[in-house]
Chain A
């Protein structure tokens, strides 16, 4: 039900998510923030039930802060993605988290990167991605429009096209979307 999308551009990564918090036929609110800021340069868009998303996000967030305090070093996006994968994989056969994640980050060395992590804990680095029903609608738009080295305006336009497509053709009404960008200057909302 939740829509989470991400796209990598020239020196930045955008993660977008819808803002509807709903269960079954009831919508709780239209102002839910599903994109967690893990630390100064990582964004985690999550889909799934609130219990699993918030639990998982907080667990990862606290552990990353602990790593930073212990080692005086910030985890790279690649390392964070693999750490998350390991946690999800271990939990898979004990008490699985039903959460799909799109991790977007910016590292000085590696540049912008986006990682697709599904609820079964399969990890893949991608240039663009989407979770949930939305993926059926937007992946083809990304396939067509994405190219290497997108500017912010171009990436924004592609995301807008995706949102328009969802609002036209997706059964569930998702009137509001939140976009966050991570780049060399950090995280801000668009």
Chain B
């Protein structure tokens, strides 16, 4: 969220910019992010990865400070590999979400400046989404979660366009339009987008070309 009290100032969470949303459908879940890497007003790259595959049915989208996006995703990959070795099975999305909140809160007084979003399908192929703030306070919803520098825009778009039980194709369209419309009005997000739709049979990933400004 952009600081409203002191316009023109920037918090560390807005330094690099970014937006992510995750939306549930009928036995599927979509996660979409923009691909901008910026340094305040300057754009450095247009292909920065913010969504990471944790396993075939679980994806993690992270916004915030780019270095912590990369550190956190690498840390979680490591923890997930350890979990897989010990438990000899894949992690459930709910458990992964709990693990993530723990990892974030461990750093309560020197946090990772990230606001991650978890999207996945549980064993019954029911969709699961959750989001966290930088200290690990989670929110679990049944419809959609958002994070990044244009959350106000994203909330508005998602609330308007969301319908429950969408099929994967319709879900993709809805998620894409919500994201693109939201980041188009945000200076710090955009410059391309990527949308993943996780279904029981596989994940479909598509790159979107939006306004390149």
Contacts and interface: CB of A to CB of B under 8 A. Distances in A.
Interface in B25-46: 37, 39, 42, 44-45
Interface size class on chain B is 10 to 19
Contacts of B48: 124
B110 A122 contact: no
Interface size class on chain A is 10 to 19
A122 B47 CA distance: 13
Most central of B16, B37, B69, B110 by chain A CB within 10 Å: B37
A45 interface: no
B66 interface: yes
B152 interface: no
A116 interface: yes
A78 to B, nearest CB: 14
B153 interface: no
A122 B70 contact: yes
A139 B47 CA distance: 16
Contacts of A126: 44-45
A162 B113 CA distance: 35
Given A126-B45, A139-B42, A120 B65 contact: yes
B42 A136 contact: yes
A123 B70 contact: yes
Most central of A116, A122, A126 by chain B CB within 10 Å: A122
Most central of A89, A116, A124, A139 by chain B CB within 10 Å: A124
Interface of B: 16, 37, 39, 42, 44-45, 47-48, 65-67, 69-71, 74, 110
Given A93-B110, A121-B71, 6 more contacts: A120-B66, A121-B70, A122-B65, A122-B69, A124-B44, A124-B47
